[in-house]
Structure 1
């Protein structure tokens, strides 16, 4: 099933998004893989300042709309799992391996970032364009701002969860996994995917198939990031 359709609006403000993530943080065990990602995401999102848009949407609507639509994709996946529904393929590996003792916290966090940027952000751009009746190019500044937020998230993950240099050896499989993923490359691919999905909006069957393939590809890579490692 494709996940190109617009997510139903369950939370409409940044504050309500943060409240939902705080509730998850309080409810989940600390070692749970979803909790690991949610905790660092919540910290960075809560600390991020907002600035007015510089272009057409001078009242900040684009910033708030993209932030909320982006977070809604993650929260909708969590809600789908809790309600016994099938979440997007990009999130399934994290949900399936969230309690695996051989997966390290750093892997959980990076798999969550990968699912969120590789799939959710592209569809969130399309959601926002529909909401504001604008083209992706009008959201490019906001997309770059979200990219900066994700860079802060990645830095925080590595600072908090990466083993010390005395423990992270060149031969360590975790070193190989870390070197196989690039936030910059993922962000560039996401922007191209968002523009392609918007261009295909009048061909819903093709757009749906494109979104489904994107979802599956991101899920495959997330599964590799969650490869159980020896101690």
Structure 2
């Protein structure tokens, strides 16, 4: 049986119907994590209670999306997942149950871009890892997809730093709990001056400024990578948001 492919409008419209599933699955994930991790969460006062938001995370392990989905408790996080995950039987079922949306990595996936923009405009919080792939040796320069989506949707951006999750699977095999830190930094928006189209130079500067805010949220300084020198952080094109 062929799986129905939803239009962007259909996918956005179905979000309220997924609330009970997400509530159930979040409780299950939280209980499961307690068995093999100890999670310290800080900066929860920075989580916007409503409004179109991008949760921007650094990516260090396979647990990262679920960590964000579990630790944000005042609303639901809508993640995107690489389309290859839909071919992994159990994982695919969990993805469908939560109602995540897929992205074709390595190319411009216009459906994923439109899903992201329209979800934000509808008031949802979506999850984006701007670096794309996992970076166990520290943050790297990303592409500008997240910045493009944020400027098109006038999104609030919540920098979310993850530390400690590397090696959780090896610890699990040794029946050792993994100590993980999740820190929510200061939320901000990009200053576009009301322009519908932002220049490439401005997109590049916005991206760099956002990545430094993400680096500041990463509590393990060894994971900040090319953004380790946070004294270089500028905020010329950022506007911080009061929650």
Instruction: Give me the TM-score of the superposition, normalised by structure 1.
Output: 0.31
Higher fraction of strand:
2
Higher fraction of helix:
1
Instruction: Give me the TM-score of the superposition, normalised by structure 2.
Output: 0.30
Give the structure, 1 or 2, with the largest relative contact order (CA under 8 Å, sep 6 or more).
Answer: 1
